[in-house]
Structure formats: C-alpha cells, structure tokens
Amino acid sequence: MYQLFCDSNCELWHTTVKELGLNVIRMPYTIGDKEYFYDMGEHTDFKAFFDQMRAGAVPKTSALNEYAYTEYFEPVLQRGEDIYYVTFSHKMSATFNAMDAAIKALKEKYPDREIRTKDAKTISLGSGFVTYYAALKYREGATMDELDAYLDELIPHTATYFAVDDLTYLYRGGRVSGASKVVGGLLGIKPVLYFDDEGKILNVAKAKGFKKALSMLAGYVREKGSELDRYKMFLLHADCEGLANDFAQALRDEFGAEVVVQPVGPVIGAHCGPGTVGLIFHCSQR
C-alpha cells in the first residue's frame, strides 16, 4: 500500500484535497515579516494578501529544508507504507535538493519501503490538474507502476498558460528585463507565458491589453485543446474574480467543457502578482 502526496503549490482547493484523501506538503511564504504555510485556501484571506501587494508589500517565498520533508514522509514509512509524490516543476525551485537529500536518507533507514516522485513539469493548477487526475487513478486502485505510466502520458498533454497584468512582479523574479518592464507598462503590454515540456516557464506572446491576452488564452484552447469533454479546465485568478468568472463562462459556452475557477494562492501570487489569470487544459501538445 502507498500514500499519495502533493504539495500546496498544486493549489487544489482544500475541499478537493480532503475529498481525494491527498497528503499535502505545505509550502511557505512570508509577508509583513510573518511566515505562513499555504492551507489550500481554507483560511486564506486572498484579498488582504493582494491588497498588501498593491500597496507595495513584497512577499517572499522560500524552500523547505531536509528536516521538513523528513517530517512529512517518515510517519508513513514507519507505518509500513510507501510514498508517491506528485511535485510541481523541479525547474522552479531549489526545494527539491532538500527533498532528494531527505529521500536518500530515508531510503537508507527504511530499505524495504519505496518513495517515488513525479515531476508535473508545471506549477499552480497545472500541477493541480496532474495531481487531481492522479488522485482519481489512485482511488481506483492503480499501482505505483500504473500511476507512473498514466502520468507519463498525461503530463506532456497538460497545458498551463497565463496572462500577467503587471510586469513588476515578473521583473522582480527575473522573468523580464528592466527595459521590458518600463516599455510594457507604458504601452499596456500583457505578457502571456506557458510551461514547456521541461517544466520551464517561457514567454509565448505579448498582448496589447488584458482583453487581448484572454483572447489569446482561448485561442490556445482552440489550437491545442483535446479531450475537453473528458478533462476539466482549471481557471485561476489573482484577485480578479469577476473577470475570471466572465472568461470561464465564455469558455463553457464555446467549448462545452467543465471549467473550475479558483484564486491564485499567496506562494504563486507572490511571483505573478495581482491581476494574473491562468488557464489549464488537456492539450494535443504543450
């Protein structure tokens, strides 16, 4: 028997996490000199967080240490169970160095137990999309080998696109240059980004205005969307709920798909900033 793990950077909603019986590794963020661990939206005041960002607060995120991973994993191994952990993109954080060290030590301590990890090669609800469907397979009784095979097929067909309202936050994270930030701000340029097959975040387009950016996101569904009657779409927003709900309804009307709308959590929001909208869907290719 094995336990299925995810981390809070997959951003599945807390009720969904509980329904699926997932074990969640909570990722930290700091704002106003106080550290928090994201609770999948259960008690998070999203508006207060993004209002602080708009007022000039600069939240920070950090990697977990080896001890933290050991605390999550060891009780499961002590019970005689194995672990399967669906992670967010390993290209996005140094936290996985600590994870690898913890796993190495635990395997030496519990040689009869197995710990597997699967890199979703995306983040936020892109990783949530992969985790959600992994959990459904897990509940059906899939073995670890069967789950490996299923996710190896699903991950290359998981599209994660997002449009950013303010380049300031991407600039702070080194995603755009200072010149691009200034010019983009003056011209109302909204970058559209996506995750490639390696789990790296890349700029795929630049839109003049946010309405055009959302139109581009819908265009990627038309171009690359597949099996939309089988797989849900996930739409996330950073404190722009009305805009997101309108866009979600337009997607439902056009594609006949189920669209789940959720807020961006503080860890991801610290990097993309308020006003961001992301769209995740099953695709023919990333």
* C-beta separation of 128 from 280 below 8 A: yes
pLDDT one-digit tens code per residue, 262-276: 999 999 999 999 999
Q: How much is the pLDDT for 150?
A: 98
pLDDT one-digit tens code per residue, 174-230: 544 433 443 344 357 788 999 999 999 888 888 988 999 999 999 999 999 999 999
At a CB cut-off of 8 Å and minimum separation 6, what does 115 contact? 73, 77, 82, 83, 85, 103, 106, 107
Rounded Cα distance between 191 and 58, Å, is 21
Rounded Cα distance between 35 and 47, Å, is 18
**Phi/psi at 132 (nearest 5 deg)?**
-60, -50
Q: Which H helix or E strand runs over 99? A: helix 95-109
Given the candidates 3.30.565.10, 3.40.50.10170, 2.60.40.10, 3.40.50.970, the CATH classification of the domain at 2-155 is: 3.40.50.10170
- Other beta carbons within 10 angstroms of residue 173's beta carbon come to 14
- C-alpha count within 13 angstroms, C-beta hemisphere, residue 101: 10
Q: How much is the pLDDT for 50?
A: 96
**Phi/psi at 203 (nearest 5 deg)?**
-85, 120
3-class DSSP assignment, residue 214: helix
At a CB cut-off of 8 Å and minimum separation 6, what does 112 contact? none
Q: How much is the pLDDT for 202?
A: 87
Paired tokens of 90: 């390993």
Paired tokens of 278: 């992301």
* C-beta separation of 55 from 104 below 8 A: no
Q: How much is the pLDDT for 174?
A: 54
Mean predicted confidence (pLDDT) in 228-250 = 97
Cα angle, residue 259 at apex, residues 257 and 264 outer, rounded to 5°: 155
Question: Which residue spans of the chain are classified as CATH 3.40.50.10170?
Answer: 2-155
3-class DSSP assignment, residue 133: helix
DSSP state of 272: H
* C-beta separation of 44 from 77 below 8 A: no
Q: How much is the pLDDT for 166?
A: 77
pLDDT one-digit tens code per residue, 7-64: 999 999 999 999 999 999 999 999 998 999 999 999 999 999 999 999 999 999 999 9
- C-alpha count within 13 angstroms, C-beta hemisphere, residue 4: 23
Question: Does 111 have pLDDT greater than 60?
Answer: yes
Question: Which residue spans of the chain are classified as CATH 3.30.1180.10?
Answer: 157-282
- Residue spans of alpha helices (H) in the chain: 14-20, 46-54, 66-78, 95-109, 125-139, 144-154, 167-172, 178-187, 210-224, 241-255, 266-272
Q: Is the dihedral of CA 11, 14, 16, 18 positive or negative?
A: positive
- Identify residue 268 by its one-letter amino acid code: I
Q: How much is the pLDDT for 206?
A: 87
Q: What topology is assigned to 157-282 in CATH?
A: Hypothetical Protein Tm841; Chain: A;domain 3 (3.30.1180)
Q: How much is the pLDDT for 172?
A: 66
pTM above 0.85, yes or no: yes
Paired tokens of 16: 């969904």
Q: How much is the pLDDT for 15?
A: 98
Paired tokens of 130: 């992969």
Question: Does 91 have pLDDT greater than 60?
Answer: yes
More confident residue, 205 or 69: 69
Mean predicted confidence (pLDDT) in 104-120 = 98
pLDDT one-digit tens code per residue, 124-136: 999 999 999 999 9
Q: How much is the pLDDT for 220?
A: 98
